[in-house]
Chains A and B, each alone.
Chain A
Amino acid sequence: MLCFLPMSASGGPRGAPKEPIVFENPQVEDDYLELAEELRCLVCQNQNLIDSNAELADDLRREVAKMLKKGQTKEQVKVFMVDRYGDFVLYNPPFKAQTILLWAGPFVLMFWGLFAMLKKIKADKAENNADSSELSAEEKEKLQAILKNK
């Protein structure tokens, strides 16, 4: 069991409630919101920074805001996070050898499915065509019998 950085007040690090994060430049605020959506909260692993109330998420949000306010680019902030927490911190993992199955897998499956479907359609068509060719002698007789009865 890890002592996950606490999500509730009990048993957590003490301290006064923190100031909200305020931006003067709307562009910086946009960048901040975009990053906080894309960066993962390491504690509650299926939340991003903006959704999470965990202590660590708050610290990381503040760090992101601080860096952006200092004029660093979004790319620099991402590199900062990846250097410390690895690709895991990104909700949008980069394309590399380890993630090739993740990124290419769905397309491979889709093309395989399309290919199989086309092949099947073609085969069915060929079969249908074969069926609809000339009636056999037996069939002609049957047909005549039905027509005569009428």
Chain B
Amino acid sequence: MKKQFMTPLIIFGLLVILLVVGLMKAQYIRDVPSPLIGKPAPQFSLPTVIEPQQVFSNDELKGQVSLVNIWASWCVSCRAEHEILNYAAQKEGLKIYGINYKDEMDDARQWLKNRGNPYVKSAFDADGLLGIDWGVYGVPETFVIDTEGNIRYKHTGPIYIQDLKNIIIPCIESLKSGQGEKCEK
């Protein structure tokens, strides 16, 4: 008789644990897992923000470890992130490429003029089609690219200083010197 009551109770307990773990995870991991990790960066060839006659293509990403940051002048969180990117480019010497997503050319230029330009160059993705190829769903997003031109890490949302120091820089260092074992989440 006692066992009869215990079985449903145990199953209920297991379900509760399952749900609690799911909820706790959801609180911290809001990111949609990217299927692009480990795959080559999407092919593209677009004009750049500063010099529209210049072309920026994915081939340029090969041969170095770099960051690709998706940004837009209309994106409020990009504003918070911009200082960090400036710092990363100037003080940490990171190579950052930009993809200017669904923006106006004039606004994008004004933004870089007012806030500083941490980017080696920024591709001008006016209609957001390149964004779809990168699986972008919320700006800003940042990708770590290895020397082969493969995507190794994705960060969704603005990069805070602790993200930069604890995750992104160790990932880049481990890619430069080894297999990128520090790039796993």
Within 8 A of A (CB), among B60-114: 72, 74-78, 102-104
The 4 closest A-B pairs by CB, nearest first: A42-B137, A2-B138, A3-B75, A3-B77
Which residues in A have their C-beta under 8 angstroms from that of B74? Answer: 6, 11-14
**Could you mark each residue 97-134 of chain B with 1 if its beta carbon is under 8 Å from any beta carbon of chain A, else 0?**
00000111000000000000000000000011101111
Which residues in B have their C-beta under 8 angstroms from that of A11? Answer: 74, 76
Some 19 contacts from A to B, beta carbons below 8 A apart, are A1-B77, A1-B158, A2-B77, A3-B75, A3-B76, A3-B139, A3-B140, A3-B158, A11-B76, A13-B74, A13-B102, A13-B128, A42-B138, A56-B128, A56-B137, A59-B128, A83-B35, A85-B35, A86-B34
Total A-B pairs in contact (CB under 8 Å)? 76
Asked whether B134 lies within 8 Å of A84 as measured between CB atoms, the reply is yes
Which residues in A have their C-beta under 8 angstroms from that of B75? Answer: 3
Which residues in B have their C-beta under 8 angstroms from that of A59? Answer: 127-129, 131-132
Asked whether A84 lies within 8 Å of B135 as measured between CB atoms, the reply is yes
Contact with A86, one of B32, B104, B131 (Cβ below 8 angstroms): B32
Asked whether A2 lies within 8 Å of B132 as measured between CB atoms, the reply is no
Asked whether A88 lies within 8 Å of B132 as measured between CB atoms, the reply is no
Closest to A88 in B: B32
**Chain B residues at the A interface, C-beta cutoff of 8 Å:** 7, 30, 32-36, 72, 74-78, 102-104, 127-129, 131-140, 156-158
Closest to A60 in B: B132
Query: What range describes how many residues of A lie at the interface?
Result: 20 to 34
Which residues in A have their C-beta under 8 angstroms from that of B33? Answer: 86, 88
Per DSSP, chain B at the interface is loop
**Could you mark each residue 54-98 of chain A with 1 if its beta carbon is under 8 Å from any beta carbon of chain B, else 0?**
011001100100000000000000000011111110000000000
**Chain A residues at the B interface, C-beta cutoff of 8 Å:** 1-6, 11-14, 42-43, 55-56, 59-60, 63, 82-88, 116
Closest to B31 in A: A2
Which residues in A have their C-beta under 8 angstroms from that of B138? Answer: 2-5, 42-43
In the complex the two chains form, what is the Cα distance from A14 to B103 in whole Å?
7
Measured CB to CB, the closest approach of chain B to A16, in angstroms, equals: 12
Which residues in B have their C-beta under 8 angstroms from that of A88? Answer: 32-33
Which residues in B have their C-beta under 8 angstroms from that of A42? Answer: 32, 137-138
Measured CB to CB, the closest approach of chain B to A104, in angstroms, equals: 14
Whether A85 contacts B32 in the complex (CB less than 8 A), given A5-B137, A60-B132, A63-B132, comes out as yes
- Most chain B CB atoms below 10 A, which of A1, A3, A11, A82: A3
In the complex the two chains form, what is the Cα distance from A2 to B81 in whole Å?
11
In the complex the two chains form, what is the Cα distance from A83 to B133 in whole Å?
9
Contact with B104, one of A1, A14, A56, A84 (Cβ below 8 angstroms): A14
Asked whether B137 lies within 8 Å of A13 as measured between CB atoms, the reply is no
In the complex the two chains form, what is the Cα distance from A85 to B7 in whole Å?
40
Closest to B33 in A: A86
In the complex the two chains form, what is the Cα distance from A56 to B136 in whole Å?
9
In the complex the two chains form, what is the Cα distance from A6 to B76 in whole Å?
11
Which residues in A have their C-beta under 8 angstroms from that of B158? Answer: 1-3
